[in-house]
Amino acid sequence: MKNIFFIFLLLLTSFYGHSQHLLNGGISCATGKQSLGSEFLSKKNFRFPGDATIDAGYYFLDLKIEPSSKWLKGRVESAFTVEADQISSFFLDLSSSLRVDSVFVNDKKVSYSHSSGKINTSLDEPLLKGQQFTTTIYYQGVPLQSPQNYTIEFTTHGGGQPVIWTLSEPYDTPSWWPCIDNPANKADSCDVWITLPTLYTAVSQGILQETVSNQDGTQTAKWKHRYPIAHYLISIAASNYQKLERSFEHAGGTMPVVDYVYPELVGNPALAPLLDRTVDMLEVFSEAYGEYPFINEKYGHAMFGFGGGMEHQTISSMGTFSFGLIAHELGHQWFGDKVTCKTWRDIWINEGFAEFSDLYAREQLQGNSAYLAEVSNHMEGAKQVSGTVAIQNTGSVNEIFNYPKTYQKGSIIVHMLRGVMGDDLFFATLKEFQNTEFAYGAASIEDFQLVAERVYGESLQWFFDQWLFGTGYPVYTYGWGQEGDQLMLEIKHYGTEETQTFIQPVEIEIQYANGSTERQRVFVDQNEQLFEINGLQGEVLAVIFDPENWILKDVTETELQPLSSFSNNIKAFPNPTTDLIFLKGIESLESPLVYDQRGRKQSVAFDREVLNVKYLPAGRYFIHINAEGKSLVKSFIKL
């Protein structure tokens, strides 16, 4: 598919010169978004997160656009519920480059002030918590045109044909319509009406109710969306599109998959195979994450004058098409749209999982080798990251959408969590996250952790502390030796940045002289540890560290150092066992910890030198013994 993609990309860039050479879905998403919002951020009136005293219930945008003058005339009706105990005023966010003509509250015209990007409105009578009210705002003007931010943009394609589009993430929604500027404050639904000359096919969220011809030579497209939506995911795109239709068959019926494509590209032989992948990916992601979130409406793409893509709800805006970009933006419909990051600090909820969706689509549709190749590529980028994946400086759009950090390392963290939990529990976690208390809402990194731990049945604090809130990655050295049917495996590591101890299940592959192999998993929780793995099946030729590349790391194999008396003298027997393990050879023994092969701590009674393992399920376990300032791990088989 890569050759097809690059051929198609060359054709696209010949049609509009500002397109970028896109390496994959994530980098095309990140590169453009880094330029967004800097106009607002350069000013003192940094407005996010909007008015927290009110909660949005509904937005209706009625927009009339004059392309030749770039003039916007808008009417936005909204419904809100009071969140504070009592309010006597409220504000909405709208760029001061636009002129407010009038404001109505509950259909009554009221006084207001509009400055520093806020429409401040006083109420005639205070409203109490839980009370509802409506607003109607009439406004007009030319949205601020600046290379540092996107509002309503006017560009061209294919020999000068016009295209009008928006891209609001993260801070640019108020540049073209009045709203509560907070990604966690979702409206329950929206309607978007777009009036333009008849040349344009205008596209937005949800279902097209009708297109009305007006006497002045314009037409109004009326779009209706009846799912919760964050303000920055409301969009418009309009051009002389050719509409292409596919369908997604699901358990409840058929959903339209609609693409609004520039006419000059429709005949390109590379286009149809790429767009066909959308339906394949809908099947893959629906199986992995749960039902497509907006199944009663649609999914599709609308082309726009931007080098990458944007996950506008039910209709992703696309500057080009590639396998990775289609997968990334579709994955966002679950991660970013159905469940949205609570703050921009939590952007991993959006971009980490969307980029993992690209990786996962490759695994399911192109094969495991394609998945592992992309994982390896992302790991190399992730090693260049400094600082935490949880964004510390949300005032920097470049920091929020830093490609190696938010996309590459973010997706690798999801990949690593998959390795820790195993596929069954990992995908159960994703479905639980999508379909329980955070469905159609907003979530923080900690919220996702809560769900993951609920499904996993044990704390994952160590994982989130080191990978989301910690820095760097581990650098391992390991050496091994064989003594009869026992493998002696020494693992040492340090961190590249502030995080110096990485707690991690590590899979090893033991390769035997007779050509057979076996996999074992050890739980590394110290910087230096010696593991004893009994029950070898023959002569060992090699030991491979993390053969499936589950861990972001550097690793070097070294010679095993001579074993100390500490390890030689400590005995754990009988092994295998049905009920008891006796520990001998330790003068001062702290209560040992017992882990299974996934690194889950087991509840085991310990009395002096005896472990009672009678109630453990059959399998291999590891006893972590810390004594004399050293760490030794002995394995045993529970029959």
For the segment 540-590, what is each residue's pLDDT rounded down to a tens digit? 999 999 999 999 999 999 988 765 545 667 788 888 889 888 888 766 566
Q: Is the pLDDT of residue 600 over 90?
A: no
Q: Quote the pLDDT of residue 638.
A: 84
Q: Residue 357 carries which side chain, given as an amino acid letter? A: S
- Domains of the chain (ranges; CATH) run 2-332 (2.60.40.1730), 474-639 (2.60.40.1840)
For the chain, first and last CA: distance in Å? Answer: 49
Measured in degrees and rounded to the nearest 5, phi and psi for residue 278 equal -55, -45
Q: What's the CA gap between 185 and 232, in Å, rounded?
A: 11
% of the chain beyond a pLDDT of 70: 90
Averaged pLDDT, 367-393? 97
Q: Quote the pLDDT of residue 193.
A: 99
pLDDT band at 539 (very low <50, low <70, confident <90, very high): very high
DSSP 208-234: EEEEEE-TTSEEEEEEEE-S-B-GGG-
Q: Which residue has the tokens 């279902």?
A: 207
Non-local CB neighbours of 537 within 8 Å, separated by 6+ positions: 512, 516, 518
Q: Are 59 and 135 in contact (CB under 8 A)?
A: no
The β-bridge relationship of strands 474-483 and 554-557 is: parallel
Q: Quote the pLDDT of residue 24.
A: 53
pLDDT band at 41 (very low <50, low <70, confident <90, very high): very low
Non-local CB neighbours of 475 within 8 Å, separated by 6+ positions: 493, 494, 495, 496, 553, 554, 555
Averaged pLDDT, 232-261? 97
pLDDT band at 76 (very low <50, low <70, confident <90, very high): very high
pLDDT band at 290 (very low <50, low <70, confident <90, very high): very high
Three-class DSSP category at 27: helix
Segment 247-259, tens digit of pLDDT: 999 999 999 999 9
Give 315's DSSP letter. S
Beta strands in 94-147 (DSSP E): 99-105, 108-110, 112-115, 118-128, 132-141
Say which range, 197-206, 228-237, 404-413, 519-528, has the weakest mean pLDDT.
Answer: 519-528
pLDDT top residue among 629 and 421: 421
> Which of 259, 363, 390 is CA-nearest to residue 314?
259
SS3 content of the chain, % helix, strand, coil (to 5): 25, 40, 35
Tokens standing for 615? 């109630």
DSSP 594-638: EE-TTS-B---EEETTEEE-TTSPSEEEEEEEEETTEEEEEEEEE
Q: Is the pLDDT of residue 270 over 60?
A: yes
Q: Quote the pLDDT of residue 371.
A: 98
Q: What's the CA gap between 315 and 300, in Å, rounded?
A: 5
Say which range, 41-45, 150-154, 380-384, 502-506, has the weakest mean pLDDT.
Answer: 41-45
pLDDT top residue among 602 and 422: 422
Q: What's the CA gap between 35 and 306, in Å, rounded?
A: 12
Segment 335-366, tens digit of pLDDT: 999 999 999 999 999 999 999 999 999 999 99
Q: What's the CA gap between 154 and 158, in Å, rounded?
A: 14
CA distances from 612 to 334, 584, 616 (A): 45, 15, 9
Q: What's the CA gap between 146 and 476, in Å, rounded?
A: 48
Non-local CB neighbours of 154 within 8 Å, separated by 6+ positions: 67, 70, 162, 163, 164
Q: Residue 448 carries which side chain, given as an amino acid letter? A: F
Q: Is the pLDDT of residue 36 over 70?
A: no
Q: Quote the pLDDT of residue 625.
A: 82
- Find residue 41's DSSP bridge partners: none
Cα-to-chain-centroid distance, residue 590: 41
> Which of 149, 116, 146, 143 is CA-nearest to residue 43?
116
pLDDT band at 324 (very low <50, low <70, confident <90, very high): very high
Integer-rounded Cα Rg, in Å, for the chain is 28
The β-bridge relationship of strands 299-303 and 316-318 is: parallel
% of the chain beyond a pLDDT of 90: 77
Q: What's the CA gap between 413 and 384, in Å, rounded?
A: 15
> Which of 299, 280, 300, 277 is CA-nearest to residue 288?
280
Segment 2-16, tens digit of pLDDT: 333 333 333 333 333
Tokens standing for 382? 């992730």
> Which of 578, 622, 583 is CA-nearest to residue 602?
622
Non-local CB neighbours of 456 within 8 Å, separated by 6+ positions: 421, 425, 429, 600
Q: Residue 98 carries which side chain, given as an amino acid letter? A: L
Q: Work out the angle at residue 310's Cα, subtended by the Cα atoms of residues 245 and 222, and round it to the nearest 5 degrees.
A: 55
pLDDT band at 42 (very low <50, low <70, confident <90, very high): very low
Q: Is the pLDDT of residue 104 over 70?
A: yes
Non-local CB neighbours of 377 within 8 Å, separated by 6+ positions: none
Q: Quote the pLDDT of residue 1.
A: 32
